[in-house]
Structure 1
Amino acid sequence: MEKAFWTVILLILCKVGTLKGDVLSEYGRKKSYSTDHELFVKEMQIKTNFDDLCAVPSDDLRFNCLQGDNASKETCLERGCCWNPIGNYGSGASAGPPSCYYPTNYVGYTVSEVKNSSMGISAELILSTKSYYPDESVFLFADVLYETDSRVRLRIGDSNRSRYEVPLNVPNVKTPALNRKYDVRISGFGQRFSLTVSAKSPSSNNTRVLINSTGAAPLIFSDQFIQFSTFLPSQYLYGLGQYRGPLLHNINWTRRTIWNRDQFVPVGNVGANLYGSHPFYLVMEEDGNAHGVFLLNSNAMDIDLQPTPALAWRTIGGIIDMYVFIGPTPADVIRQYTDVIGHPFMPPYWSLGYHQSRWGYKTANRTLEVVDRVRAAGIPQDVQWNDLEYSDGQKDFTTGYNVFGDQPALVAEIHKRQMRYIMITDCGISSNQPAGKYPPYDIGFEMDIFIKNYTGDLLVGKCWPGETVWPDFTNPKTTDYWSQMIQNYHSKVPFDGIWIDMNEMSNFVDGSVHGCTDNKYDHPLYMPHVTNGSLYRKSICPSARQYLGLNYNVHSLYGYTETKATYTALQKTLTGKRPFIISRSTFAGSGHYGGNWNGDNHATYVDMHSSIIDILNANMFGIPMMGACVCGFLEDTTEQLCQRWTQLGSFYPFYWNHNERWYIPQDPAAFSEEMAKSSRKVHLIRYSFLPYFYTLFYDSHVNGDIVVRPLFFEYPNDKNTFSIDKQFMWGPCLLVTPVLEEDQQQVSGYVPKDVWYDFYTGQKINGNGTYQTLDAPLDKINLHIRAGCIIPMQNPALNTVKSRKNRFRLLVALNSALEASGNLMWDDGESIDSIEKGVINRLDFVVQKRTLVVSMTESGYKTERMTLGSVDIFGMDGKPSTVLMNGHRVKFSYDSTNKVLQITGIAENLFRDLVVNWK
C-alpha cells in the first residue's frame, strides 16, 4: 500500500514538473529565456538554496548539461542546470570543465520498485525530473542479469514500448551464475536511480568499484537522447574506437564520437569518428587489476571523459544494454568480451604471409610484373591483390577484359606459383545500366533487397560506378543474393578471398541524389559530434528504410552485416576451406567473420606510429587480423620510410603493402638493392615465426585470447607500460621495438623488469623497467624474446606452401630457473572445420632440469611430415659436455659470448616424444 501511494505521488510530481520546471515547448523545441523562468529559478533558489545545489567540491565533478558546443546562460538555466562560466566545452580537444552542469538535486529517474528476478535483480523506475529532450519514457525497467561468474549484464529500457536493439548474436543465458565475483546494487525505493558494480580484488579483500553512477550525471531516457554516466576507478582508459589518438586516452575533458564514416584522419582533427564502431572500454585499475565495459548500442553516440575520473555515454537511440567484464587481468577482460561478441575467426595459414596490392596496376600483365619483381628479389610473398581497375567500369562482379586484360589467366598463373589472389568488392551496386545487361542489379531488384528511402522508393546515391544502390545486409534474403553473386563470379575468376570496401556506407553525395528529409532522423535534436556535423555527410540518409528498421539505428552495422554475409557466401563458394575477408568498416563482433585494415593512411612517420595503436585497439576489439597500408596509401613514400615501415609491417598480423594510383610504386622490390635486401631479411624472419603466430591465432579463435598486445597486458603491475604505444608484443613472448622516426640508427625501447634475449644474437638483457638505447641500423628491427618461452619456428621459404614443408626449429629462452615452455598447433592450414573435428596436432614443449621434452598431446592431423631440424637454447650457463636426443649423442655448438647452445643437422619426427638432455 505504501509503495502504491508513493508511486502515485511520484507520478503527480513528474506530470506537474515540480521537481524541475517544464520549460520545453511542444516537440522539445526550447522556449526563449522568460520572466516566468526567472521567477522559477528564483523560487528554486529560495526553496532549495540553489547556490548550494550548484556547489561541487571540485570543478572536475561537473557533469556537462549542455552537450552541444554552443553553451549559453539562457539555455543552461532553461534546463534547470547550473551556470558558472569558467571554460568552454569543446569537441575532442581538452577544453576544461563545462560552464553548464547538473545541480545535485537533478533527479532524473526515481526507483519505484526493486525485487529479485530469476536472473538477478529487476527494478522499476519512474521519471521524476523532466529533461530538455522530447518524448521521454515515463516508466523504465532496469534489469541486472548474472550471466556468468565474471560477467554481468545491465539493461535499461522503456517499460511500455519496445525499442530498437542491436541484433548481435550474444549469449542467451537462462540460469544465473552462482559463484559471482561481483556485487550489483541499485538504489532503494523512492531514491534517485543509481547503481554500482563492485568486485573483490583477487589478491586481497579490498573491493573494486567498477561502475558507480551515484552522484554522476542523471539518467536521461528519451526517444532520441539517452544518457548514462559513471565514475571510473582510475584514469587508465583504453578502447572506444575507432579513432586517431594515443592508446591510453587522455581523460582531461575529451570526447570520443562513434558513427561509422568513410573518413581518413584529417589534419588537426584527432578523435574524429572513423570507419568502425566499438563502444567498449578497458580500464587498468590502480592495483594492476582490469575490467571492461561494452555498451551494446549501434546508434550514433558521444562518450565524454572527464578527469574525476568519470565517463558519460550519450546515444541517440536504442536502449542501455551494458556488459561489465570483471577481469581481473586485461587478458581475462578480452576473453570475457569475445565470449559475448564472438571469438575471432580462424585464418587460413597462407593469410599470414605477405600481401601485395596497389590501386594503379591498370592491367593484368602489370600486376604480374610486380609479382615477378618481388620474386626476383627473393622476397617471400603469398598473396597478390587487385583494386577496382580489374572491373568493367568499376562495377562489382565484372571483369574489364578490354582494359585490364585476362583476369582468369592472371589468377591461374598466380595459383600456378602456389600463391593466392584477392580482389576488391565494393558494397554499392550500379543502378544505371540498361535493363538485362547487369545481373547484380537486375537480380537484386527482383529479389527486393536494396535499401529504400523514407518514402519506400529505392535510395540512389553515387559511388565509383556512378549512380548506386546498396544491398540491405540486415535482410536475410540478401545473404542468398550475395552468395549467388560471389559464386557466379568465382566460377569465372577463382579468387581465394575478398576485400570489401566503402562499407561505412560511403557515398559521393550527401544522403542520396535527391537529398534527405527534414525529419528527426536525418536531423536529430541532439547531434553527436560527428565530423562535419551531419549523420549523412558522405553516406546515406539515416531515414532510409532497411529490413531491421531505419538506417538511423543500423547504419554502423553495415560493414559488420556485409562481412557476415560475405563469410557465409565464401563458405558456400570455397567448399571446405576457410573464408578470408578484409573489411574497412567494422562493429563489435566483426572479428568473428573477418579482418580489418585501418583505412586510408598517409606516407608519414606519424601514420606509421598510429598504425601500432590501431592494431593494438583492434586486437582489444576482438579483431586480431588487423593491418595498415605499409608505406602509406596517400602521398609518395620515401625509401627510408618504406624500409622502416616494411620492418614494422612484417610484424602486423595482416601484412600488406597498398597505395593509391597517383603515387610512386612502393612494393619492397621497387627501390634500391639495399632496400630489397633489407626487405628480404625481415620477410624471412616473419615467415620463420609463422608457426608461433598461427598458434596464437588458434588460441584467439578457441579461447578469445589476444594475439598482438600492449605491454601492460603482460606487465599489469608496471604503470610505466600503461602508456606505451610505440612497442608491442606478439603473444607473451616476442617484444617488437620498431624505429618510428627519420634518420635514426638507434631506438629507445622500454625493457620491462624481466629477462630478455636479443633475437639475432641470443645476448641476455636483464630488464629493470627502464628505457634502453638499442642499436637499430637501417636493415634491422629490434626483436627480443622473453625468458621462459619456447617459440616454435620453421625454416622460411618464398611462400607458405613451401615453408610449411620445411623443418621446424625451437627457440628456447631459459629463465633464471633454467626453465621454459611453449606449444604449437598444426593442421592443414585451410580446412574450415579442422579444429571442430579435431583434425589438428598439438605439441607441448617444456624445459626443466636441463631437459627439453617435446610431446604431441593431440595427433588428429596425419600429415606426412613434421620434422624438427634444430634447437637453439638461449641463456645456457655453460658449454655442455654432452647433448643427448632420446639417448643418442647429437652434434652441437656453443657460443660462449652470448651463452647460446645450437643443436643443428637433426631430422627428428615430431609424432614421437623427444627428450633432449645436456650435461
Structure 2
Amino acid sequence: MVSYKRLNPEDVQFSSAVLSEEPRPVQEEVSVSLCLEPSAVIFKTAVRIVTPQTSQTGVNNTAAASRREVCTLIPEAWRFDCYPERGVVVTKELCEARNCCFIPASSPSSAARPSGRNGIPWCFYPPDFPSYSLVSINDTSLGQRGTLAKEVKTYYPADILTLEVEIRHETDSRLRVRVKLSKEPFGLIVKRSSTGAVLLNSTVAPLFYADQFLQFSTSLPSQFIYGLGEHRSTFLHDVHWNTLTMWARDVPPMEQTNLYGAHPFYLAMEEGGNAHGFFLLNSNAMDVVLQPAPALTWRTIGGILDFYVFLGPDPGSVIEQYVEVVGYPAMPIYWALGYHLCRWGYNTSDSAWEVVKNMRNYGIPQDVQWNDIDYMDQFMDFTYDSSKFATLPDMVKDLHAHDQRYVMILDPGISSTQPEGTYWPFDEGLRRQVFIKDAEGRTLIGKVWPGLTAYPDFSDAVTHEWWYDNLKRFHEKVPFDGLWIDMNEPSNFLDGSTNGCPSDSLENPPYTPGVLGGLLRAKTLCATAQQKQSIHYNMHSLYGLMEAKASASALKRIVAKRPFVISRSTFPSQGMYSGHWLGDNRSQWKDLYTSIAGMLTFNLLGIPLVGADICGFSEEPEEELCVRWTQLGAFYPFTRNHNAIDMKPQDPTAFSPLARTAMKQALLLRYSLFPVLYTLFHHAHVHGHTVARPLMFEFPKDVKTYGIDKQFLWGKSLLVTPVLDPGVDYVDGYFPEGLWYDYYTGYSVRSKGEELPLQAPLDKINLHLREGSVIPTQTPNLTLWVSSGQPLHLISALSDDGSATGDLFWDDGESIDTYETNQYTYIIFSVAQNVMTSQVLHNNVEATYITVELASFYGVKEKPSRVLVNSQDASFTYRENQVLTVADLGLNLSQNFTISWM
C-alpha cells in the first residue's frame, strides 16, 4: 500500500477496514520504482524525460515558442486536465496563468467542452509542470519510507511542499502506499515481474497535495476498467473522457451523476488475462477521470492519499485481496435469499396482508413481506399508524406462523417538532446528545418525510446504543425480523439545514467535484456539520456504512440471529453489515438491462447481497416487462419486488394467469437452486468470492467476455441468459469455449467461443451448466424454511473426460458465526471415471433429515449396462441426449456415498 499523508487531526480513522494480522513480506511478484528523475510522460509506448523548469514565471519568447512546440507533441489521449473547475470558460490567458498548455481539441465533439469534462481538455499539463522530488529514501522492515519535496507552489491554495511517502509490501499480493505530510518530480511505477505490465505509473502527470485538493494520475495497462461505484453505466467503464464523481447522493439512478454510494476501487484487466486492483482509502468528495490513453486521474478534496494495489493475478483473486482489506461480507440468514415483496402505498396493513394471502393461495413462493414509510404514524421512525395499520402486529404474527418474515423501513431523520415528552426517540436523543450539530454546536435541523428532522450521528458509540434502545422498544410492539435503512446518504429536502450553512472553504472548496447540484450540501447536510469523529465534509459518504453497522449490531442483540439489513447508501466494508438494493429505478426495459451491471459491480465491491427493484420502482410496468424482470430477478442474489405509491400493484398475483404462472415458475426455480446460492454466499463470506459473477472472471483470457453485461454466472457453473428486450421469443447468448449443457434438459452445445441464438418463450429464462460442475438442487416450496428440508437432486455436467466437481455448505441457516464455531456441514461432490463420490469433509450439524433422492449426469456418452449405489445395483434411465438419471436413492446427506456405472 502506498500512501501520501498529511498529518491532520481531522484524518478519518477506518479501523474496521484494516486487518489485524501482521503483514507478510511480498514475494517477487511486482517491482516498485521510486522515480528520482523528472516526470516521465508516456506517449504510447515511448517514455520521454523532460527537465523541470525552476519557476512558473518569466518565460521568454523563445521559451514560450519551445513550450508551444512541446505542448503540440503531447497526444490528445495523454492530456491531463489542468483546469478541471466547473462553470468556468477556460481561456488561453487563464490556462497559461497556471503555466499549462492551451490547445483547443481537434475533435469536433469536444469543441463545446473547452474545460475537458467528458471531452479532450484544452488546458493540460506540460511535461515540466512543477511536482515533487524524492529527496531521501530508507528501507524499513516492510518496504521503504521517503521524503518528497518541491520548491514551487502550484495554483491551488495551501499547497504543501514537503510530504512523507511510505511503501509497505503487506502480503504476497498486496502493496500499500501512504503519502503524508512530513516536516523535482516524484513518481511511482509498479510493474508485474512476470509480464512486465505496468500496473501503476504516477509519473504521467504532476502530483498535487494541497489542503483541499489532492490529485494524482496513472497510466492504465488497458481500457478494461471496472468498479468505481456507485454509478449507472455499463459494467465495463467507458475510458473516453469519462468523469465519475463520488459523493453519496439521493437521486434516482441516472447516467453521469453521483449516486447513493462511494467506492473508490477499480479492477483492471491486463493483456493476456491477468488482472489487478486499486483502492484509494478516502471518504471525501472526489472525481475519477478516465481518458483513452488509457489513464486515470484521482482528484479528491480532503483526507490523505492512502492506496492499495492488489496483484491478483486473476480477477477473482483481486476481489479476494480487496475484501481481505475492507472486510468479508456477512453470511446472510437463510430467508434473506428468498423472494421479498414490498410496495410504497399499501396504505393499510390489511391490504398488505391480503397480498400475502393471495400469494399463498396461488402457491407462489414468498419469504418476506415489507412495508415502506406508509406504515408509520406521520412518517416518524419507531411508530406505526394505529388506525390504518392497526393489524400490523397481527400480520407479523401470521407471517411467523407461516415461516415468513417481516422487514420495515427506517429513515435516519428523526422528527424534531413533536411536543416535548410525546416522542421518545427525539427527546431521548437530545438528552444523550446523539444528533449531528451545526457549525455553531446546535442540533442541525433538516427536512425529510416527517417534516423538520434531526440526524443521528452514527460515528458516535452513544448513538449506536440509542438506536438499539429505540429498535428494542419498537420490536416489543411489532416483532420485525430485519431492517431496511433508506435515505441515509443522508438525504435532506433542503440544502444544508433550516439555518443554511456558513460561507467558508469547507462549504465552497477551491475545487468542487462534479456532484449533482454543484454544492457539497445539495440535498444533504452542511459540510461544516459536526460529528463525533470529524466534520461532515470528511464523513458524509460514510453515513450509510455507519448506520448499517449500528443496525446490524442492534439486530444481533434483539433477535439473537444473523442480522438482515438492506441499505441504500454504501461505502467499502458495507458487506460486513448489510446488503444493498440499486435504488429507485424505473419500470423501463433499459433499467432491466442496467440492473445486471449494478449487480455485478457490487459483487466486485464486496457487497454480494444485491439486487434491483423487480419490475421497477417508479412508473407502471407492462406485463411482459414484469415477467422478464421476475425471471432475471430470480437470479439476483437479493430478490425483491417493490413499487411506488399511486402505481398499480405489480406483485405476481396482479397479472394475468399466463404471466402469473411464468413468474411462479421463475421463483420456484430460484427456490430449487437455494443450496447452490447458499453455498456461494458461504464462499463469499469465508473467501471473498463473488456470487453473481461476470463471465470474464471465469474466462479471463477470452477478451470477448470483457464487456458482457447481458449475461452472468452464479459462481463458476451456472450461466444465466435473460431476455432484456420486448416482443421477442429468443435471445442471443455468448458461450465461452467449451462444453455447455441446457440446465433443464441436459442437451449439450460445444462452443468455440461464440454467440448462439436460444429459444426464450415468455415462460422461460435460459440457464446452462458449465462442463465439469456438480450442483445440488432441492424440491422447491412456498418458503425456504420448507424448501431447505426437501430431498436433494444432484446434477452433474460432465467434461469430455467424464469429470466434474461441486460442493455444498449447510448449517441451521440463522445462527451467528456457524463457520467460525464449526457448526456446519461441508460436502464435496466429485465425478471421475464413471464414479460419483460424496465426501463429507466436515459434519458438526445434524443433517440426517436431508436425503439425496435423485442424481442426474449430463454427458454420459454411452448407455450403462449397470449402475451401482454404494456397491448395490440400482435402477436407472438413460436418454438419447446422453443424460443418465438415478432415482429413489434415499441416501443420507451426512454420510459418504458412491454412485457408479459401467
Give the SS at the match of 2:653.
coil
CA drift of 1:140 comes to: 0.4
> Which one of 141, 161, 171 corresponds to residue 118 of structure 1?
141
Give a deviation string over 1:674-712, Cα, whole Å, max 9, x none. Answer: 111111111111111110100000001001111111110
- SS for the counterpart of 1:531 is coil
Deviation at 1:525? 1.3
The equivalences for 1:316-327 within 5 A come to 316-327=301-312
Say which of 190, 200, 210 aligns to 2:199: 210
Matched, 1:506 2:499: no
Partners of 1:42 and 1:491 lie apart in 2 by: 79
Q: Select the residue among 640, 645, 652 that pairs with 1:668.
A: 652
Tell me the residue number matched to 2:842.
858
Q: Is the alpha carbon distance of 1:905 and 1:89 closer, same or farther for their aligned partners in structure 2, counting shifts above 3 Å?
A: farther
* Structure 2 equivalent of residue 20 of structure 1: 55
Are residue 460 (structure 1) and residue 445 (structure 2) matched? yes
Partners of 2:309 and 2:574 lie apart in 1 by 20
Tell me what 1:341 maps to: 326
User: Counterpart in 2 of 1:740?
Assistant: 724
**After superposition, what is the alpha-carbon deviation per residue over 1:463-495, rounded to whole angstroms, capped at 9, x for unaligned?**
111100100011111111111111111122111
Secondary structure class of the residue paired with 1:468: strand
Instruction: Quote the offset at 1:373 in angstroms.
Output: 1.3
Q: Deviations over 1:404-451 (max 9, x none)?
A: 222211110110111011000111111111111111111111110100
The 8 Å contact of residues 92 and 271 in structure 1, kept in 2 or not, is answered as no
The aligned residue for residue 26 of structure 2 is: none
Find the counterpart in structure 2 of residue 181 from structure 1.
none
Partner of 1:595: 579
**Aligned positions, number:** 846
User: What is the one-letter code of the residue matched to 1:827?
Assistant: D
Deviation per CA, 1:857-900: give whole Å up to 9, x if none.
1001124412101001111112211111011122211111x211
Does the 8 A contact of 2:366 with 2:783 survive in 1? yes
1:133 maps to 2:126: no
Instruction: Write the deviation string for residues 26-50 of structure 1: whole angstroms up to 9, x where unpaired.
Output: xxxxxxxxxxx7xx3436x538932
Give the residue type in structure 1 aligned to 2:60: K
Structure 2 gap segments, 5+ residues each: 1-37, 39-51
Aligned to 1:234: 222
Cα distance between partner residues in 2 of 1:91 and 1:145: 40
Is this contact kept in 2: 1:669–1:675, CA < 8 A? no
Residue number among 405, 424, 431 corresponding to 1:446 in the alignment:
431
1:526-579 residue CA offsets vs partner (Å, 9 max, x unmatched): 01011121111111111111111110011000000000111111111112x100
Letter of the 2:196 partner, please give it: T
Q: What TM-score results when the alignment is normalised by the length of structure 2?
A: 0.92
CA positional deviation for 1:88: 4.9
Matched, 1:42 2:30: no
Per-residue CA distance 1:218-272 (angstroms, 9 max, x = gap): 0000011000110111111111111111111111111111000001134xxx221
Indicate which of 869, 886, 896 corresponds to 1:903. 886
Cα distance in 2 for residues equivalent to 1:862 and 1:351: 22
Q: What is residue 68 of structure 1 aligned with on the other side?
A: 85
Matched, 1:81 2:100: yes
Deviation at 1:596, TM superposition (A): 0.0
Deviation, 1:746, is 0.6
The alpha-carbon deviation at position 93 of structure 1 amounts to 9.9
Say which of 184, 195, 199 aligns to 2:192.
Answer: 199
Q: Which amino acid in 2 is paired with 1:770?
A: E
1:403 deviates by 2.1
Say if 2:870 is the partner of 1:847. no
* Counterpart contact for 1:92–1:255, Cα < 8 Å: no
Change (3 A) 1:866 1:49: same
2:174 is aligned to: 151
Question: Any residues of structure 2 matched to 1:1-16 within 5 Å, and which?
Answer: none
Residues in 1 aligned to 2:154 and 2:674: alpha-carbon distance in whole angstroms: 57
Residue of structure 2 equivalent to 1:265: 253
Higher relative CO (Cα under 8 Å, sequence separation at least 6) belongs to 2
Counterpart of 1:693, as a letter, is L
- Equivalent pair of 2:359/2:366 in contact (CA under 8 Å): yes
Asked if structure 2 preserves the Cα contact closer than 8 Å seen for 1:427 and 1:502, the reply is: yes
Question: Structure 1: how far apart are the matches of 2:492 and 2:304?
Answer: 28
The alpha carbon displacement at 1:94 in A equals 7.9
Matched residue type, 1:133: Y
1:117 maps to amino acid = T
- The match for 1:546 among 524, 531, 541 is 531
Matched, 1:752 2:736: yes
The residue identity in structure 2 corresponding to 1:118 is: S
Question: What CA deviation, in whole Å up to 9, does each residue of 1:5-54 have, x standing for no partner?
Answer: xxxxx9xxxxxx98333xxxxxxxxxxxxxxx7xx3436x5389323442
Unaligned runs of 5+ in 1: 1-9, 11-16, 22-36, 161-190
Contact conserved, 1:88 with 1:99, CA < 8 A, in 2? no
3-state secondary structure, aligned to 2:380: coil
Question: What is the Cα deviation at residue 128 of structure 1?
Answer: 2.7
Separation (CA, whole Å) in 2 of partners of 1:465 and 1:159:
48
* Cα distance in 1 between the residues matched to 2:429 and 2:873: 69
Alignment CA distance shift 1:604-1:768 (3 Å): same
Matches within 5 A, 1:233-382: 233-266=221-254, 270-382=255-367
- Which AA in structure 2 matches 1:42? N
For the 8 Å contact 1:357–1:657, the answer to whether it is kept is yes
User: Counterparts of 2:507 and 2:838 in 1: how far apart (Å)?
Assistant: 62
Classify the secondary structure of the residue corresponding to 1:196. Answer: strand
**1:388 corresponds to which residue?**
373
**Partners of 1:84 and 1:506 in 2: CA distance:** 41
Contact 1:91/1:254, CA 8 A, preserved across alignment? no
1:561 aligned residue (533, 546, 554): 546
Contact preservation (8 Å) 2:544, 2:567: yes
Q: 1:375 to 1:730 in 2, by over 3 A?
A: same
Do the aligned partners of 2:628 and 2:724 also contact (CA within 8 Å) in 1? Answer: yes
Task: String of CA shifts for 1:256-295, please: whole Å, max 9, x gaps.
Answer: 11000001134xxx22100010000000111100000000
What code does the residue aligned with 2:197 have?
R
Aligned counterpart, 1:484: 469
Q: Which residue of 2 aligns with 1:101?
A: 124
CA RMSD between the two structures: 1.6
- Give the secondary-structure state (helix, strand or coil) at the position aligned to 1:724: coil
Spell out, residue by residue over 1:179-214, the C-alpha distance to the aligned partner (whole angstroms, 9 max, x if none).
xxxxxxxxxxxx41001112223xxxx222100112
Query: SS state of the match for residue 479, structure 1?
Result: helix
**Percent identity over paired residues:** 45
Change beyond 3 A, Cα 1:91–1:619: farther
Check 1:881–1:451 CA distance in 2 against 1; reply closer, same or farther (3 A cut).
Answer: same
- Corresponding residue of 1:175: none
SS of the residue corresponding to residue 49 of structure 1 reads helix
In the alignment, what sits opposite 1:170? none
Deviations 1:579-634 (A, max 9, x none): 01000000011011110000000000000001000000000000000011000000
Cα distance between partner residues in 2 of 1:481 and 1:96: 49
SS of alignment partner, residue 617 of structure 1: helix
Q: Secondary structure at the match of 1:587?
A: coil
Q: Is contact 2:114-2:122 (8 Å) kept? A: no
SS at match of 2:262: strand
